[in-house]
Amino acid sequence: MAKMEVKTSLLDDMIGVGDMVLLEPLNEDSFINNLKKRFDHNEVYTYIGSVVISINPYRSLPIYTPEKVEEYRNRNFYELSPHIFALADEAYRSLRDQDKDQCILITGESGAGKTEASKLVMSYVAAVCGKGAEVNQVKEQLLQSNPVLEAFGNAKTARNDNSSRFGKYMDIEFDFKGDPLGGVISNYLLEKSRVVKQPRGERNFHIFYQILSGASEEFLCKLKLERDFSRYNYLGLDSARVNGVDDASNFRTVRNAMQIVGFMDHETQSVFEVVAAVLKLGNIKFKPESRANGLDESKIKDKNELKEICELTGIDQSVLERAFSFRTVEAKQEKVSTTLNVAQAYYARDALAKNLYSRLFSWLVTRINESIKAQTKVRKKVMGVLDIYGFEIFEDNSFEQFIINYCNEKLQQIFIELTLKEEQEEYIREGIEWTHIEYFNNAIICDLIENNQTGILAMLDEECLRPGTVTDDTFLEKLNQVCATHQHFESRMSKCSRFLNDTSLPHSCFRIQHYAGKVMYQVEGFVDKNNDLLYRDLSQAMWKANHSLIKALFPEGNPAKINLKRPPTAGSQFKASVATLMKNLQNKNPNYIRCIKPNEKKAADIFNEALVCHQIRYLGLLENVRVRRAGYAFRQAYEPCLERYKMLCRQTWPHWRGPARAGVEVLFNELRIPEEEFSFGRSKIFIRNPRTLFKLEDLRKQRLEDLATLIGKIYRGWKCRTRFLLMKRSQIVIASWYRRYAQQKRYQKIKSSAITVQSYIRGWKARKLLRELKHLKRCNEAATVIAAYWHGTQARRELKRLKEEARRKHAVAVIWAYWLGLKVRREYRKFFRANAGRKIYEFTLQRIMQKYFLEMKNKMPSLSPIDKTWPARPYLFLDSTHRELKRIFHLWRCKKYRDQFTDQQKLIYEEKLEASELFKDKKALYPASVGQPFQGAYLEISENPKYKKLTDAVDEKIIIAEVVNKINRANGKAASRIFLLTKNNVLLADQKSGTIKSEVPLGDVTKVSMSSQNDGFFAVHLKEGSEAASKGDFLLSSNHLIEMATKLYRTTLSQTKQKLNIEISDEFLVQFKQEKVCVKFIQGSQKNGNIPTCKRKNNRLLEVAVP
């Protein structure tokens, strides 16, 4: 497989121009055409010097794989094709190796891919930095903070399905090795107005739809929500579903991300409860009512929604209802309460929803920062990633667009300043003379907006704080007075006569000429949005909530900390945040990513030139190129420059032995490039005009073609010579092999003839010898046959003689044996008759016993102790032996069975045996309990967080934990309690809260009483005079009565060395405080099924009806 060619410069195989600084000619059309040409070839990244232009492809491209990460890792910025990974690698290596804090500024329109770009930067840094369990955990937390913030801060808009509706700046902190330690996130201007109202075709924040789509039915029930989107007024229905977006899956991703980041379960639950409360606030509706004094008043139509909100948040319903109907104004020592009409009530409801959600979002950012912040106090290196909204020009622009565009003006200002500063520093560092560069300075526009005396924000704050009637029109009048003469401010009502007849500028609007173009702002809503007021009654109502999170979100609602000072306005807050951000960015080395949206349809392979042109203008990209080209358009280190162009000079090709700078000087002198077109720095060559660079590239391309021709010629000659030498060697080898073959064939022929002659001679000799041997063999065979016949005759005669002699000897031996036997029988006949009977009896008896035991061996029953079968007795005289053998076998198999028991099983059987001795044939409930194992712990108290308080209070080992019913002495009704038996105490606890109600030492338990019937009632009698007996005895009911009584009996015996009295009677006395009550058990009806019922008949009698 051929090795893949590796690019060594962005000039190699370049599609269009990879760096706009090299674009010739430089104008708006050529700029757009170059972007379009690269976009059509899936080249979505282009450079302007060190700035990356990113065009959203609206589809997945195979350029973000792990292989790509490794390809761009530790490579020079201009070494490979333009890519976002190149910028991320440059920033990370500068931070790690040069100890320079970095910031990456990502700007662009909504839908241009800013959020995805920030994700790519973070994922690249996470891939190339160190490894290890702790480092991986930090990286995972940093990456997983994105899904959480996207769910709560992003929404579907007309331009983008995942549009960030807030500005985010994240500082990622690294140690000296370049491993991440943690991070800090700052958020700017959440678009909280989206909570209560969305433009047509857009959605509310993602989290609302994710909860309703992905939460389980049980979880929705806890949040008092329904899955139907149409049930909620705050959710736009025309775009509730988004193609390609799985809200249910995203909800699971968000919950998992919150867990990874470090949210506790109760914190996650609290967050979703607040989200549900915001969603349900939109369903509250008001109706008008007239009071006696003639004032209008509002009332809530349906209080069910209000009730559910109060249950979710722990707020008193009457308090919240009053906060929606009245407003209290405090001035010094006076309080004035006024009613709210329907419009004011709806305003208060929406203001509460917006404030509740925006404060929740700020709390989320703070909580994430607590989890991801660096734990060590060592000096840290910082890389900041700024993902913030781009310049916005809509048909109707309001306060939000004004604030956003102000932020972009500040970013453009710092961009130009830092770009020029970076250029100047490089020139000084390289010893190149710095020339002043003319550029548009937008500081005048920033001053128009942020000046503390005459700025638009200062005028807006002054108007909001002014006593008297304040409206948007009065604010516009003030602007017309103060800013009328400003060259970047336009208003039809201003003193400047040139706009009086401008029909494109309505009377209720003003226009600002930003660096990106003119933007007309509708003044309506400026004052209200800048005030951002929430009635104090609502803040105090929220502070009174039993919900810990909501209470923490509204600290100003605390009556003890009432502050009559007016809170800062939204504009002043944002201005201060932007100032802090600018100060932070100026202390870091900047890296820029300019995101561009190619079309409004969010479709792939569509390039709308008009839309791209609009973005190029307001991003100031052409201005950026001109700034970069004002001095030298291209610069490159001497080593790569010499390596790339050394083939253009005979002295430097193929190897230059001296310093790289000297080689470049020789090269440029040889090429006769004018001296004004380049300049030598300390480590780089600077080229002024792109045409010079392209001329070098053309010469290099031509030279490469010539070198390719030369290499081809040399290769073909080498190939022909090699083939000739190979054919010559082959001819010599073939000739030598043929001569060898011919000699081998001749030798084989001579050898074959000699072998044939030899074989004929050997054959004749062999046949002659064979004839002689055959004759000799026939003579020997005849003599052998005659001898054999003779020997056979002799042998038969001898055998016959020996047989006759043997018959005679055998006859003598038989006769002698018969004679000896006759003599023995005559001598012992009398003795044999006297003992024969006893011997036969003993022999017969022995045979019977042997047969009995052998049959028993084959008829033995199983080894189960409960198997009562036994083989039948074969003979009557073996009866006692048969019974004894049965007893011994049973004892033996019982021992074998017991030997298999574990200690735990032995304890269980001991308890079962104890229960048998206590209750067998005494309690009708006992037979049903025999087959049930004694478990003891029927409640998993230690594993249930509900009973954590109970677990902490009980230090001893729990022998039995069971839910019982405690009988009320007043009415005979039952209440659920947790019955706990420990080594030293009996405890009763509340089943819901786990609070211990009673604790009785085992020494104070004197007796347990129960009936003989099939019920679970029992009484625990306590020692008179003991502390536990102050409230009287316990009358309880349990489903595991036999087990509880047995364990109580054994535990008491083990601890006190005294047997607990178990009384079984259908009528017994129970001490209730100072009086004794008789408990009587009777046979009842089947109305309640098989459940025993208890009734109080009088002050002295409780009747238990047992079915």
* Three-state DSSP class for residue 772: helix
User: Of the listed 282, 390, 631, 1016, which one is catalytic?
Assistant: 390
The two three-digit tokens of residue 69, written as one number: 């990460």
User: Of the listed 160, 298, 313, 624, which one is catalytic?
Assistant: 160
535 DSSP 8-state letter: -
392 in catalytic set: yes
* Three-state DSSP class for residue 801: helix
Backbone angles phi, psi at 54, to 5 degrees: -120, 120
Closest Cα to residue 514, out of 613, 624, 406?
Answer: 406
Rounded to whole angstroms, the Cα distance separating 960 from 950 reads 14
Rounded to whole angstroms, the Cα distance separating 1046 from 959 reads 12
Q: What is the per-residue DSSP string for 821-841?
A: HHHHHHHHHHHHHHHHHHHHH
User: Of the listed 16, 18, 108, 111, which one is catalytic?
Assistant: 111
* Three-state DSSP class for residue 264: coil
Q: Are 589 and 94 in contact (CB under 8 A)?
A: yes
Rounded to whole angstroms, the Cα distance separating 176 from 155 reads 38
Dihedral, CA of residue 915, residue 919, residue 920 and residue 925, to nearest 10: -100
Closest Cα to residue 616, out of 26, 167, 103, 42?
Answer: 26
1025 in catalytic set: no
Task: Identify the bridge partners of residue 518 per DSSP, sorted by sequence position.
Answer: 513
Q: Are 1025 and 966 in contact (CB under 8 A)?
A: no
Backbone angles phi, psi at 1094, to 5 degrees: -125, 130
Rounded to whole angstroms, the Cα distance separating 822 from 939 reads 96
How many CB atoms lie under 10 A from the CB of residue 29?
10
Rounded to whole angstroms, the Cα distance separating 361 from 192 reads 10
Task: Identify the bridge partners of residue 687 per DSSP, sorted by sequence position.
Answer: 634, 678
Rounded to whole angstroms, the Cα distance separating 500 from 493 reads 7
110 in catalytic set: yes
User: Of the listed 46, 50, 115, 531, which one is catalytic?
Assistant: 115
186 in catalytic set: no
User: Of the listed 191, 392, 400, 962, which one is catalytic?
Assistant: 392
Backbone angles phi, psi at 490, to 5 degrees: -130, 135
User: Of the listed 9, 46, 56, 110, which one is catalytic?
Assistant: 110
Q: At what angle do helices 443-450 and 399-430 cross, to 10 degrees?
A: 140
Residues for the chain: how many in total? 1107
Q: What is the per-residue DSSP string for 928-959?
A: HHHTS----B-S-TTT-GGGHHHHHH--SPEE
Q: Are 1079 and 1019 in contact (CB under 8 A)?
A: yes
**Alpha carbon of 609 to those of 120, 195, 612, 1001: distances in Å?**
26, 34, 5, 88
Rounded to whole angstroms, the Cα distance separating 966 from 972 reads 9
Q: Are 592 and 386 in contact (CB under 8 A)?
A: no
What is the rounded radius of gyration, in angstroms, for the C-alpha atoms of the chain?
Answer: 53
Rounded to whole angstroms, the Cα distance separating 138 from 437 reads 44
Q: Is 1089 left (phi over 0), alpha (psi -120 to 50) or beta?
A: left
User: Of the listed 163, 253, 355, 408, which one is catalytic?
Assistant: 163
Q: Are 361 and 152 in contact (CB under 8 A)?
A: yes
Helices (H), ranges, 330-486: 342-372, 399-430, 443-450, 456-465, 472-482
Q: Are 251 and 210 in contact (CB under 8 A)?
A: yes
CA distance from start to end of the chain: 89
Kindly give, in sequence order, each residue whose CB lies less than 8 Å from that of residue 956, ignoring residues fewer than 6 positions away.
982, 983, 984, 985
163 in catalytic set: yes
Rounded to whole angstroms, the Cα distance separating 237 from 198 reads 10
390 in catalytic set: yes
118 in catalytic set: no
Rounded to whole angstroms, the Cα distance separating 231 from 241 reads 15
Residues designated as active site = 110-111, 115, 160, 163-164, 390, 392
